[in-house]
Amino acid sequence: MATHTAIVDDRDPLIQYSGSWVPGGAPVEFDSTTMTTVDAGSTATFSFIGTSVTVYATVASKTLEIQPIWSFVVDGTVTGTYTPNNIPPDGVHHQVLWTSSASPLQNGSHTLVITQSQAASGSNKVIFMDYITYTTTSASVESYFIDDRDPQIKYTPAWRQFGSDGDFEHTSQATSSVGDFLTFTFEGKSITFYGGVTSETANASITIDDGPPKFWLPPVGATINNLIFDSGDLSPGNHTLVVTAENDQPVWADYFLVTPNSPGSVNTSSPSSPGSTPASIQKHKSTPIGVIVGPIIGVLALAALAAAAFFFFWRRRRREHELPDRPAPTMSTAHVLDPGHAFGYSGYNAPATAVPPPLLHGYSSHSQVGPLPTPNSHSDSSSTLAAAGVSYSDPSSSHHNPTLPSTGYPSTSHPTHGTPPSSAPNAASSGDYVPPLTPQRRSHKLLREVERSHQLRVPSPSVSGSASISGSTELPPHYTE
Higher per-residue confidence, 434 vs 263: 263
Higher pLDDT, 330 or 294: 294
Do residues 178 and 132 both lie within one domain? no
This prediction has a pTM of: 0.57
User: Number of structural domains, the chain?
Assistant: 3
The average pLDDT across 326-339 equals: 40
pLDDT in tens, 93-151: 999 999 998 788 999 999 999 999 999 999 999 999 999 999 999 999 999 999 999 99
Question: Under a CB-based contact definition with an 8 Å cutoff, are residues 56 and 133 in contact?
Answer: yes
- At which of 117, 141, 165 does a domain end? 141
pLDDT of residue 304: 78
Question: Is residue 456 pLDDT above 60, yes or no?
Answer: no
Mean pLDDT, the chain, rounded, equals 73
Least confident of 45-49, 58-62, 82-86, 403-407: 403-407
Rounded percentage of the chain residues whose pLDDT exceeds 70: 57
Whole-number pLDDT of residue 350: 36
Out of 18-22, 191-195, 304-308, 345-349, pick the least confident. Answer: 345-349
Q: What is the reported pLDDT for 302?
A: 74
Mean pLDDT of 296-318: 71
Q: Angle at Cα 353 formed by Cα 350 and Cα 357, nearest 5°? A: 65
Give percent above pLDDT 90 in the chain: 52
- Per-residue pLDDT at 262: 84
Rg for the chain, CA atoms, rounded: 56
User: Which of 1-5, 339-343, 372-376 is most confident?
Assistant: 1-5
Q: Is the pLDDT of residue 274 over 50?
A: no
Task: Quickly state the pLDDT bin for 315 (edges 50, 70, 90).
Answer: low
* 342 and 477 belong to one structural domain: yes
Asked, for residue 122, whether it belongs to a domain, the answer is yes
pLDDT at 64: 95
Out of 196-210, 367-381, 447-461, give the one with best mean pLDDT.
Answer: 196-210
pLDDT top residue among 202 and 265: 202
Higher pLDDT, 294 or 263: 263
Indicate whether 310 belongs to any domain: no
Are residue 206 and residue 73 in the same domain, yes or no? Answer: no
So what's the pLDDT on residue 137?
93
Integer Cα distance of 209 and 215 in angstroms: 15
Residue 72 has pLDDT above 50, yes or no: yes
- Please name the residues in contact with 478: beta carbons below 8 A apart, sequence gap of 6 or more: 334, 335, 336, 337, 401, 424, 435, 436, 440
The pLDDT value recorded for residue 354 is 39
Residue 157, preceding bond cis, omega within 30 degrees?
yes
Residues 332 and 275 occupy one common structural domain: no
Predicted local confidence at residue 270, as pLDDT? 40
Of the candidates 464, 470, 477, the one whose C-alpha atom is nearest the C-alpha of residue 435 is: 477
In sequence order, the β-bridge partners of residue 92 are: 59
Whether residues 154 and 136 share a domain: the answer is no
Read out DSSP for 115-130?
Answer: EEEEPPGGG---EEEE
Q: Report pLDDT for 451.
A: 52
Q: Which of 97, 101, 167 is nearest to 130 (CA)?
A: 97
Instruction: Please report which confidence band the pLDDT of residue 194 belongs to, taking 50, 70 and 90 as the band edges.
Output: very high
Residues 69 and 214 in one domain: no
pLDDT category, 395, cuts 50, 70, 90? very low
Does residue 269 form part of some domain?
yes
How far apart (Å, rounded) are the C-alpha atoms in residues 301 and 456?
67
**Strand 226-230 and strand 255-259: pairing?**
unpaired
Does pLDDT of 158 surpass 80? yes
Work out the pLDDT band at 306, boundaries 50, 70, 90. confident
Rounded CA-CA distance 451/464 in Å is 28
Within 10 angstroms of residue 456's Cβ, the number of other Cβ atoms is: 18
Asked whether residue 301 is assigned to any structural domain, the reply reads: no
Q: Which amino acid is at 277?
A: T
Q: Are residues 334 and 480 in the same domain?
A: yes
Domain boundary among 120, 141, 162: 141
Which DSSP helix (H) or strand (E) runs through 318?
Answer: helix 278-322
Of the two residues 373 and 38, the one the predictor is more confident about is: 38
Same domain, 151 and 273: yes
Specify if 29 maps to a domain: yes
Residue 292 lies in a domain: no
Cis amide leading into 327 (omega within 30): no
Residue 3 included in any domain: yes
- What pLDDT is stored for residue 265 in this prediction? 65
With 80 as the cut, is the pLDDT of residue 412 above it?
Answer: no
**What pLDDT was estimated at residue 312?**
66
Q: What are the start-end ranges of the E strands in 37-107?
A: 43-50, 52-59, 69-74, 77-82, 92-99
What tens digit of pLDDT does each residue of 18-42 get? 999 999 999 999 999 999 999 999 9
Residue 291 maps to a domain: no
Based on the fold, state whether residues 27 and 130 are members of the same structural domain.
yes
Say whether pLDDT at 464 is over 90.
Answer: no
- Considering the domain architecture, whether residues 183 and 332 belong to the same structural domain is answered as no
Q: What is the CATH number of the domain that holds 169?
A: 2.60.120.260
| More confident call, 45 vs 400 | 45
Task: Give the domain range for residue 368.
Answer: 317-481
Mean pLDDT computed over 465-477: 44
Residue 397 pLDDT > 50, yes or no? no
Task: Round to whole Å and give the CA distance between 345 and 447.
Answer: 19
Same domain, 187 and 122: no
User: Do 109 and 151 fall into the same domain?
Assistant: no
Domain boundary among 80, 115, 141: 141
